[in-house]
Amino acid sequence: MNHTPRFRTVLGCTLLVLSLGAVATGCGGPDGHPLSEKPYDAADQVSLNAPKGDAKANPDKPLEIVAKGGDARITDVTVTDAAGHHLAGELAADGARWRSTAPLAAGARYTVKVATEDEDGAPGSRTLDFETSPVKRNLSVTFGPKAGKYGVGQPITAELSAPVKDRAARAVVERGLKVRSSPAAEGSWHWVDDKKLHFRPREYWPANASVSVSSTLDGIKVGNKLYGGPVKPLKITTGDRLEAIADAGTHHMTVLRNGEEIKTIPVTTGKPGFSTRNGTKVILEKQQFVRMRGTSVGIAAGSSEGYDLPVYWATRVTWSGEYVHAAPWSVGSQGSANVSHGCVGMSTDNAEWFFDTVREGDIVKVVNSGGEDMDPFGNGFGDWNLDWAKWRQGSALVGPSEDGGGQVEAARLRPQV
């Protein structure tokens, strides 16, 4: 009787070989058909490359199961961990060998079930357990921002405890970092540098959505002797879609809620030499009071451009010091001229309204300014200034990173008016 071996995909990884010693019994059921017989113990017919006794298997080696003696062949192999996850593997066409195709998890316990048939077609089986050795080097991940409610422009961040430079290792990390939103939104990770990733949707998050972030990297091999560790999950929610568009050319800022205009405010933006950055920015924090000094942005004290001012209702959009804030000293220019040192200034009443209306993660977009463009990384969240194609190029699962995964220097926290 000639049976074709079955193929099954399972989950795990590592090379172990251990003799499955036991007794093989005869075949033939009550009706004389070999397949009607209860499977015999196939311990003498298969071997597994795992250590014996209490020794732990090396998770860096593949798992391999071999049919011995030539009088039987393997027809099926199932390898599962304690959580029920399957280890992927391939069975040779002649049933002589099964080998894992995915890495084993470190510090895990596996159950192996092997099905065989002898030269007469009678079925055999063997089950055994083994454990893999724990890891010596864990990769931990910290998700951001903190749990809470944010605007629809808020990126998700992942800070790694160790640098990951190899492209294949980065792909493992990305596959293990799960982001789910309800309603659903298409999105992707982008490597900012070797230790930091950002995740954003193709468009902004849906309004009033729930976003959960988790990891399946625990015990998974990332790179050379580097394995994922346990990661604390994160959940955030979004509010309405709030967008403020500051037009440096018309000297007005329009605020939209879910696409509908709710207020237009006369403003002043950066004057020549101090022009406000063009582009989309994400609100980083809100401060009811900030002391703003020109010296913090390189303006000499006592010079014609120097300043030292108490500023109220300050909404930060860059770490280098751009805010949307109250500027009662420039009310005469608001709506007609740009006279600030880079911030978006407005009346105290309008600044307080804006402060109370927006939250972290909401969008402030500056257009028609003579300033430079907003940096995508390193000075706040400029993620939305990359189009979707370039954003996707920063994923190890798609194509080479646009910026080569270079390091980003953190800007100093400094206010500018």
Instruction: Give tens-digit pLDDT for 210-244.
Output: 999 999 999 898 988 889 999 999 999 999 999 99
pLDDT above 60: residue 128: yes
Q: How would you classify residue 391: left for phi > 0, otherwise alpha for psi between -120 and 50, otherwise beta?
A: alpha
Mean pLDDT of all residues in 4-14: 39
| pLDDT of res. 48 | 87
The CA distance from 366 to 322, in Å, is 11
Lowest mean pLDDT among 3-7, 186-190, 292-296, 335-339: 3-7
- Asked whether residue 120 carries a pLDDT value surpassing 70, the answer given is yes
pLDDT, mean of residues 373-387? 96
Q: Walk me through the domains of the chain, giving residue ranges and CATH numbers.
A: 17-131 (2.60.40.3780), 138-238 (2.60.40.3710), 242-382 (2.40.440.10)
Residue 401: pLDDT band with limits 50, 70, 90: very low
Q: Stretch 163-184: mean pLDDT, rounded?
A: 97
Query: What DSSP state is assigned to residue 51?
Result: -
Tokens of 87: 């280890």
Would you state the pLDDT for residue 212? 98
* Parallel/antiparallel/unpaired status of strands 138-139 and 226-228: parallel
Confidence of residue 249 (pLDDT cuts 50, 70, 90): very high
Of 217 and 54, the one with more pLDDT: 217
pLDDT, residue 266, reads 98
pLDDT at site 37: 65
The mean-pLDDT minimum among 30-34, 105-109, 119-123 falls in 30-34
Residues annotated as part of the active site: 325, 343
In sequence order, what are the beta bridge partners of 86? 80
